[in-house]
Amino acid sequence: MAKPNVILIMTDQQRWDTLSCAGNPVIQTPNLDYLASEGTLFDNAYSCTPSCIPARASLLTGMNPWNTGILGMGRGQGPMGTGFEHTLPGELAQAGYHTQGVGKMHFSPQRVLNGFHRTVLDESGRAEDPGFVSNYRRWFEQNKTGDYDYTDHGISWNSWMARPNHAPEYLHPTNWTVNESIQFLKERDPRKPFFLKMSFARPHSPYDALPYYFDLYMKKNLPSAVVGEWASIHDDKRTAFNPDAWRGKRPGEDIHQARAGYYGSINHIDHQIGRLFHYLKKQKLWQNTLIIFTSDHGDMMGDHNLWRKTYAYEGSAHVPMIVKLPQQAGVAVTERVDAPVVLQDIMPTILDAVGLQIPDTVDGKSVLPLMMEEKPLWRDYIHGEHSTCYSEEQEMQYVTDGRIKYIWFPRLGTEQLFDLRQDRYELIDRSTDPNYSDTLLRWRRRLIAELAPRDVGLTEGDRLINQAGKPPIVSPRYRERLERAEREDDV
């Protein structure tokens, strides 16, 4: 029997609550809803290091952040780079798959393959290597119809501002990503199964949805930003004036416009994904293709007066995940799973589904038993973290099972506890509530159990140790990977 094809669809910075099938009453995501109806929707999927580079490193390798060596984007942290012993595209390529990455990879150097046979890149505004021009940027310049640039709408890559895109629809990076993906399917080696990672640069800011989508959601009654009483620390009036602010209270009109651009971008992506699905069916590839949809992390979108990512809160760390098995698997799957899963689980899930051995370096677990309702022994919770990025006060560690969430801020020495069962948007901090004292202690101990084996001064006995004024923690695995990459370069 022929090995199944694999498509991994990844958006950039998409929250878990922006799918109609996940319960959002406003957004239109018909094609992703259809994908969920053909597979399984994971209600509690999390990004263990919710920013672009570390999240993608964990997805690429199936490894926890401590083992990739990338604990965030900020002080003491390096780029994704190379030197990984095993990667998802690398394992599939060795097994005879034709592998291609389209869109945002966020590798360093930017043209490194990390196991892919070829990458066709849209790196947004990143041009980190000498002479680097992304495939999308080159194509845009060759096909534009006037004297304008792709950023002439005036909104930067991390802004809360929003407006309709200024260029013709066919030039939008979302369309380009699907065009290039379909082109790969037309030109691939037909003798081999394929692995395609289709990675969109949106709905990450700029929130520049096409006019049709932007106008559609400007007219809708969109969810307002939620702000807990504890979030007053983020109501920084000076910071809020910065067009690239990571925190600060903005007027409701600004938040509505940002969400209209954000929702519109997701609706646009969904329509373009529909084009891919149509092509797969037309070429009789749909039935024998494993399809996974997810995002690297979310976007706070003004919740708790925060923007962007790197936070432990639901808007930042909780991501969508849908898995559709190839029909040849011949098994019935459950519609929804509420067990906690992470991006690290994607690599072992794919390898398991196509019958390949999972390398010992992989920390994640295949979710196939969860889909098949086999009631496997599963993790009780997941652990996430992020190093200092925008501010020391936001460096964080968290543990959650999707029902309770405990957060520790190492450089403040403070903690939070949320009961997600009745407070999904984390409005009420229960850490000082006497009714939750036993719960707080249990979850704090869980975090200590995760951190103690590192032996880097984060814990002492049954205590978490304040990191204020101390240098950033660097995983020894990062140095090991750099040394491995240097050895590979010398060969």
106: annotated active-site residue: yes
Cβ 209 vs Cβ 164: under 8 Å: yes
Q: 207: which strand partners?
A: 162
278: annotated active-site residue: no
**Distances from the Cα of 264 to the Cα of 51, 145, 151, 299, angstroms:** 22, 24, 18, 15
Identity (one letter) of the amino acid at 43?
Answer: D
Q: How far apart are CA 368 and CA 358, in angstroms?
A: 13
Q: How far apart are CA 69 and CA 272, in angstroms?
A: 35
* Given 48, 52, 86, 297, the catalytic residue: 52
* Given 106, 172, 256, 304, the catalytic residue: 106
What is the b/e burial string over 305-333, where b = at least 16 CB atoms within 10 angstroms of the residue's CB? Answer: bbbbbbbbbbbbbbbbbbbbbbeeeeeeb
> What is the set of active-site residues?
52, 106
